[in-house]
Amino acid sequence: MTTEPNNKTIERQVDRRRTFAIISHPDAGKTTLTEKLLLYGDAIHLAGSVKSRRAARHAVSDWMEMEKQRGISITSSVLQFPYRDYAVNLLDTPGHADFSEDTYRTLAAADSAIMLMDVAKGVEAQTKKLFKVCAMRKIPIFTFINKMDRYGRKPLELMEEVEETLGIAACPLNWPIGMGKDFQGVYDRQSEQVILFDSEGTHGETKVEERRLELDDPELEKILSPRQFDTLQEEIELLDIAGDPFDLQRVHAGELTPMFFGSAITNFGVRPFLDAFVEMAPSPRQAREFNVEPTRGDFSGFVFKIQANMNPDHRDRLAFVRITSGVFEKDMQAKLLRTDRQIKLAYPQQMMASDREMAQQLYAGDIVGLYDPGRFRIGDTLYTGNPVDEQEIPRFSPEHFAVVQIEDPLRRKQLIKGLDQLSEEGTIQVFRQPGKGSLDVVVGAVGILQFEVLKHRLKTEYNVEVSLRHLDFSHARWLQGEFDEDALNRQQFLKVLHDRDDLPLLLLRNDWALNYTTQNYPDIELLPNPPGTPGLEELHDVTHGF
Ligand code: G4P
């Protein structure tokens, strides 16, 4: 039996939550680091390289693959594990290279991010894009320079690159001692101690031995080569004079990134990083605000992701809810803000990395997967007690469009069902051409890869084969004001469509068409997203790279 949590309990529980995502360029080591965080969180006891990941990486979640390979009980969207006194929620961001809305939405549910980089590569294309999304939302970012067991670029050079390319001040909290096969450990600038690692007898499968020594311990001079010792002394002095001082407020404001060095594969530096991270990362109370106060007694949360058919044996669909206040309990009743309907939050899926049991009570910062028979949409807000404001999840405007052509007209019903469900999940947006009947469907996506996902999923999950005829348009704008649809349609570089709520929108061939229409149709307002949805115009350069 569970007792009713009081306000003090809620505060204490919220304060121990750490909800974050890892952002990185493919191959920087996100899967490996995730696995090692689980190892240190005692969610798994033996880590091992996950084989044949490479082939699967671009299509499915790395974590699902990991689950298959390792037989550990994780779900693909969120991992929850206790670490020291903290309750850690690690959100998965899709591993494929094509930047998608999905990644953005996941970051909307995170309170902080770990930016992972390969020491040999530094800031890469995907790092920049994801960083920009975090920076726009002022999400605190913790930098981990990985693969120190390999020779790479100089740590000072990387620090400069982060500051210059990304425009954020960096403050190394530890500093590497050596690199490649000479990587011995890190100097912890806060305790002013050297942490040496020893992987004797393990290949990163189990936690490494750590030894802490004061900088002036004579033992240290015996362990490090004279050159390593001198370099360390020099670099520490240089950082003390030149670097930005540590300032937690600036970290929480997203202005300063604490920097760490390590090697996920050998576990060197993983524990010091995790320790510092849980202590410094904001709790939901310290994080940027959602629509409600996290310690409000009444429950609230919002759907940031919908994932269908996670288990091919059951046609299940899960709506992932970030809890924003109060306490979530299994089978509780809550109101769906969009429809004003009371619903039972039944069959919640546990997200514990190590335990199949569903946690009895969840608090702000936690994520719960709710069984979804098709009633939720991305951005939906749930609450009990007094109504809360809607949690806004901004959307990207689609930039790729295609007409869906069905191979077997008898499968039409399944096609419509599949398209409906996939658009609710946010994989694609579905539009209809007015007057053309429901068969002539146009789909829009932010990244071209989403079309491949669409075709694949229609085939495997709905048994519908389709081909997609790409349309030569690159912008979508929702229409407001006075306009004549037929007149607009007569322009070759424009096409009027209707969205799932029957709101009219315009496809425009290119930037020129957008300028032309803006100038020549002054009575029309062109919106990058449906009216009332917060738009993300400024993210245009994120989807288009730098
Ligand atoms: P990702 O999820 O960010 O795409 O990266 P992932 O962890 O899959 O790592 C990409 C490759 O980098 C893997 O090698 C992995 O073993 C390696 N790696 C990760 N962390 C480290 C590290 O600290 N040091 C070194 N030296 N390598 C690291 P792979 O050959 O692609 O795959 P695998 O056969 O090892 O699984």
Which residue out of 265, 267, 273 has the highest number of ligand 1 atoms within 8 Å of its CB and is therefore the one to mutate?
265
- Among 383, 415, 439, identify where a domain stops: 383
Q: Same domain, yes or no, for 169 and 112?
A: yes
Tokens matching residue 507: 């496809």
Q: Same domain, yes or no, for 445 and 505?
A: yes
Q: How far apart, in Å, are the Cα atoms of 107 and each of 100, 130, 491?
A: 11, 9, 39
| Alpha-carbon gap, residue 184 to 179, rounded angstroms | 8
Within 10 angstroms of residue 257's Cβ, the number of other Cβ atoms is 26
| Alpha-carbon gap, residue 305 to 372, rounded angstroms | 11
| Residue 69 pLDDT exceeds 50 | no
CA of 543 to the centre of ligand 1 (A): 26
- Ligand 1 binding pocket includes 27 (Cβ within 6 Å): yes
| Alpha-carbon gap, residue 92 to 21, rounded angstroms | 6
As for how many domains the chain has, the answer is 3
Q: Same domain, yes or no, for 90 and 233?
A: yes
CATH number at residue 455: 3.30.70.3280
In this structure, is residue 539 part of a structural domain?
yes
In this structure, is residue 1 part of a structural domain?
no
Cα dihedral 278, 282, 284, 285 sign: positive
- Ligand 1 binding pocket includes 62 (Cβ within 6 Å): yes
- Cα-flanking dihedrals φ and ψ of residue 471, to 5°? -105, 145
Q: Is 413 exposed, middle or buried (0-12, 13-18, 19+ CB in 10 A)?
A: exposed
| Residue 365 pLDDT exceeds 70 | yes
- Ligand 1 binding pocket includes 397 (Cβ within 6 Å): no
CA of 453 to the centre of ligand 1 (A): 25
CA of 80 to the centre of ligand 1 (A): 23
| Alpha-carbon gap, residue 271 to 262, rounded angstroms | 10
Question: Average pLDDT in the 496-518 region?
Answer: 93
Which residue segment(s) compose the domain that 320 sits in? 300-383
The model's confidence at residue 369, banded by pLDDT at 50, 70 and 90, is confident
CATH number at residue 129: 3.40.50.300
- Ligand 1 binding pocket includes 178 (Cβ within 6 Å): no
CA of 301 to the centre of ligand 1 (A): 35
Which residue out of 32, 61, 114, 203 has the highest number of ligand 1 atoms within 8 Å of its CB and is therefore the one to mutate?
32
In this structure, is residue 330 part of a structural domain?
yes
Q: Same domain, yes or no, for 491 and 414?
A: yes
- Ligand 1 binding pocket includes 149 (Cβ within 6 Å): yes
Picking from 62-76, 175-189, 375-389, which range would have the lowest pLDDT averaged per residue?
62-76
In this structure, is residue 294 part of a structural domain?
no
| Residue 229 pLDDT exceeds 80 | yes
CA of 304 to the centre of ligand 1 (A): 29
Which residues are CB-contacts of 191 (< 8 A; sequence separation ≥ 6)? 212
Q: Same domain, yes or no, for 370 and 511?
A: no
Q: Same domain, yes or no, for 178 and 262?
A: yes
pLDDT tens digit sequence for 421-435: 888 888 789 999 877
- Among 228, 249, 280, identify where a domain stops: 280
The model's confidence at residue 48, banded by pLDDT at 50, 70 and 90, is low
Q: Which atom of ligand 1 is nearest to the CA of 50?
A: 36
In this structure, is residue 287 part of a structural domain?
no
Q: Same domain, yes or no, for 169 and 71?
A: yes
- Among 383, 416, 440, identify where a domain stops: 383
Longest Cα separation, the chain: 85
CATH number at residue 304: 2.40.30.10
- Ligand 1 binding pocket includes 70 (Cβ within 6 Å): no
- Ligand 1 binding pocket includes 444 (Cβ within 6 Å): no
pLDDT at site 17:
96
β 86-91/17-24 pair status: parallel
CA of 402 to the centre of ligand 1 (A): 36
Tokens matching residue 427: 């994989």
Q: Same domain, yes or no, for 46 and 163?
A: yes
- Ligand 1 binding pocket includes 147 (Cβ within 6 Å): yes
In this structure, is residue 390 part of a structural domain?
no
pLDDT at site 518:
94
- Cα-flanking dihedrals φ and ψ of residue 328, to 5°? -95, 130
pLDDT tens digit sequence for 139-193: 999 999 999 999 999 999 999 999 999 999 999 999 999 999 999 999 999 999 9
Q: Same domain, yes or no, for 379 and 515?
A: no
3-class SS at 215? coil
In this structure, is residue 5 part of a structural domain?
no
CA of 32 to the centre of ligand 1 (A): 6
pLDDT at site 472:
95
Q: Same domain, yes or no, for 45 and 161?
A: yes
Picking from 41-50, 212-221, 237-246, 350-359, which range would have the lowest pLDDT averaged per residue?
350-359
Q: Whose CA is nearest to atom 6 of ligand 1?
A: 29
Single-letter residue type at 512: W
Q: Which atom of ligand 1 is nearest to the CA of 24?
A: 3
Strand locations in 235-296, DSSP E? 256-261
| Alpha-carbon gap, residue 168 to 171, rounded angstroms | 10
In this structure, is residue 394 part of a structural domain?
no
CA of 267 to the centre of ligand 1 (A): 12
Single-letter residue type at 7: N
| Alpha-carbon gap, residue 174 to 180, rounded angstroms | 17
pLDDT at site 63:
42
Q: Same domain, yes or no, for 442 and 471?
A: yes
Q: Same domain, yes or no, for 104 and 53?
A: yes
- The model carries a pTM of 0.84
pLDDT tens digit sequence for 264-310: 999 999 999 999 999 999 999 998 677 788 989 999 999 988 877 65
3-class SS at 134? helix
